[in-house]
Amino acid sequence: MNIPPYPAGHSARKRRSQTIAFIVFRVLSLLIVLVLFAILGFIIYKGAGVISWDFLTKAPEDGMTSGGIFPAIVGTLLLMLGSAIVAFPVGIMSGIYMNEYASRGWVVKFIRLMTNNLSGVPSIVFGLFGMALFVKYLGFGDSILAGSLTLGLLSLPLVIRTTEEALKDIPDGIREGSLALGATKLQTIWKVVLPMGMPRIITGLILSLGRVSGETAPILFTCAAYFFPQLPSSVFDQCMALPYHLYVISTSGTDIEAQQPIAYGTALVLIVIVLIINLAAGFLRKHFEKRLR
């Protein structure tokens, strides 16, 4: 057998270019982490000072130049809950339908294309649509209901997709095993497929909650109140929300100087909420997976 003419020194050059490439990758990744830490550090530095028990539990006072952000925290949590109630059942059921029932024809392809498009629509457009449909046409007015519905629509594509992906990864052998024992398709989905997909579905759901908590645009025209110090008493009430509150006091406040620390404090609370949600997602996922092992 002939040995091809390997050029001298090629091997060393190969190794050198690999080393250089890896160094570049590593530096870039570290840079991103640095930027993240910078943002977090900046917000903690600026906002930690105003955090206190009163800040978390009291309503804004003196034209929002002092007092707390309690109504905004409650409002954000309520909107998250509301959007979850709207999006989860619909999203999970569509995901199940698309992966388990619909044969892989053009209908499913079309639905999938549409959901993907839906997730590309800017959130402000959702806001406008929500205003037109829920606030005006259905007459809900600016309310938690209209806001929840709009946010639910916004998170729907993500929920559908994570459900679909989670179910797609479950091997067909498991489904066949169940069907071969005389189980119906519904029994198979309910007793075997869903429990197996649960960890990933739940993670997807919680991540979508995190996204909802930070949205401003969709609630701008449908729900959020500029100032609404008392807590809402029904779903037809308006409410405050952290991201909108942040927006309001940093752009159209009465006293920018006095409100700046409050803005940073609000941002910090929002970030912490999102962080807690993401940690909870990871924890729940681990918990469910452990139950499966």
Partner 1 sequence: MEKIEAKDVNFYYGDFQALKHISMSIPQNKVVAFIGPSGCGKSTFLRLFNRMNDLVPGARLDGEILIDSRNIYAPGIQVDELRKEVGMVFQRPNPFPKSIFENVAYGLKVNGVRDKEFIAHRVEEALKGAALWNEVKDKLNASAFALSGGQQQRLCIARAMAVSPSVLLMDEPASALDPISTAKIEELICEMRDQVTIVIVTHNMQQASRVSDKTAFFYMGEMVEYDDTKVIFTNPHKEATQNYITGRFG
**What residues line the site for partner 1 (CB under 8 A)?**
103-104, 171, 173-174, 176-184, 187, 191-192, 195-196, 291-293
Nearer to partner 1, 175 or 245 (CB): 175
Q: Please provide the DSSP assignment of 41-73 as one string.
A: HHHHHHHGGG--HHHHHS-EETTTTEE--HHHH
CB 182, min distance to partner 1, A: 4
Cα-flanking dihedrals φ and ψ of residue 13, to 5°? Answer: -60, -40
Cα distance from N-terminal residue to C-terminal residue, the chain? 52
CB 180, min distance to partner 1, A: 4
Nearer to partner 1, 179 or 284 (CB): 179
CB 190, min distance to partner 1, A: 10
> Are 263 and 249 spatial neighbours (Cβ–Cβ below 8 Å)?
yes
CB 205, min distance to partner 1, A: 19
Nearer to partner 1, 62 or 176 (CB): 176
Nearer to partner 1, 3 or 181 (CB): 181
| Amino acid making up residue 70 | F
Q: Please provide the DSSP assignment of 130-184 as one string.
A: HIIIIIIIS---SSHHHHHHHHHHHHHHHHHHHHHHHHHTS-HHHHHHHHTTT--
- List CB contacts of 17: < 8 A, sequence separation 6 or more: none
Work out whether strand 66-67 and strand 60-61 pair parallel, antiparallel, or are unpaired.
Answer: antiparallel
Give me the residues paired with residue 60 across strands. Answer: 67
CB 186, min distance to partner 1, A: 10
CB 115, min distance to partner 1, A: 22
**Strand, helix or coil for residue 239:** strand
Nearer to partner 1, 10 or 293 (CB): 293
Nearer to partner 1, 195 or 229 (CB): 195
Nearer to partner 1, 120 or 173 (CB): 173
CB 172, min distance to partner 1, A: 9
Structure tokens at 94: 């569509």
Residues in the chain: 293
